[in-house]
Amino acid sequence: MSANGHGQNIESSEAFEFSAENLEKAQKLIAKYPEGRQASAIMPLLDLAQRQNDNWLPRAAMDKVAEICGVSPIRVYEVATFYTMYNKKPVGKWFLQLCRTTPCWLRGCEDLKSVIKEKLGIDHGETTSDGLFSLLEVECLGACVNAPVVQVNDDYYEDLDREKLIALLEALQKGEQPPFGSMSGRQCSAPEGMEAPASDDR
């Protein structure tokens, strides 16, 4: 395993340019703000750059956002290093965010962390040697009713336990991504035991 970390250090890369499609999206985002307020687009532009660059932001991408917004690079670095949703170093194909806030802790997030360590051999801020998985322990993901929760890239996997997380990780290792949502089968955030109808595609 390799420790990539998710701290304040910004990793460099040689160059970054938005694709033609994303440059068009960037221009549309900037156009939403009045003249002189282009800096308001920094956060969505950073997200756009991160999605284009395998889910992480090199310094060159931040510099490009600064150039497009007409601000000094430090203004962009300040934003990117403040918010944990921006990855300043490369992450795995499957980026796991394990919620550790009180409801998830009470419902077994420590067991989930143990599963990840046992199955993948990584801890907080680390990436597997094959580059498939990264783990970040985070505060509230906002799905407390369905605790415990692990976010995989953009998707929430809820109502997890050891067996369900093992099955999820094994599927991801095979390149398969199971349907997201409640892993216990309940409908949305309904009381436990109320299963989703067969036609529910989440």
Q: Do 100 and 171 belong to one domain?
A: yes
7: pLDDT confidence band, cut at 50, 70 and 90?
A: very low
49 and 99 in a single domain? The answer is no
Indicate if 144 and 102 belong to the same structural domain. yes
Q: Is there a single domain that holds both residue 145 and residue 178?
A: yes
105 and 132 belong to one structural domain = yes
Q: For the residues 46-60, what does the mean pLDDT come to?
A: 95
Please give the sequence-ordered ranges of beta strands (E in DSSP) within the chain, or none if there are none: 2-3, 94-99, 126-127, 133-138, 150-152, 155-158, 181-182
The pLDDT value recorded for residue 188 is: 83
Is 101 domain-assigned? yes
pTM for the structure as a whole: 0.81
Same domain, yes or no: 45 and 71: yes
**pLDDT at position 105:** 95
Whether residue 1 is predicted with pLDDT greater than 90 in this model: the reply is no
Pair 169, 104 in one domain: yes
Q: Are residues 172 and 118 in the same domain?
A: yes
C-alpha 45/C-alpha 81 separation (Å) is 15
- pLDDT 10s digits, 87-131: 999 999 999 999 999 999 999 999 999 999 999 999 999 999 999
Do 24 and 74 fall into the same domain?
A: yes
> Among 65, 83, 84, 85, which residue's Cα sits nearest to residue 75?
65
pLDDT at 199: 55
Q: Are residues 24 and 75 located together in one domain of the fold?
A: yes
Instruction: Identify whether 202 is part of a domain.
Output: no
What CATH number does the domain containing 166 carry?
Answer: 3.40.30.10
Give the integer Cα–Cα distance in Å for 148 and 169.
15
Peptide bond preceding 103: is omega within 30 degrees of 0, i.e. cis?
no
Q: Taking residues 38-51, what's their average pLDDT? A: 96
Last residue of a domain, one of 24, 56, 82: 82
User: What is the rounded CA–CA span in Å between residue 164 and residue 158?
Assistant: 10
Q: How far apart are CA 137 and CA 94, in angstroms?
A: 14
**Beta carbons within 10 angstroms of residue 135's beta carbon:** 25
Question: Is 165 domain-assigned?
Answer: yes
Q: Has residue 2 been placed in a domain?
A: no
Sheet hosting strand 2-3, strand order edge to edge: 2-3, 126-127, 133-138, 94-99, 150-152, 155-158, 181-182
User: How many domains does the chain contain in total?
Assistant: 2
Q: What range does the domain containing 28 cover? A: 15-82
CATH number assigned to the domain comprising residue 56: 1.10.10.1590
Same domain, 74 and 104: no
Asked if 53 and 101 sit in the same domain, the reply is no
Q: Is 136 domain-assigned?
A: yes
Residue at 172 is within a domain? yes
Amino acid identity at 90: P
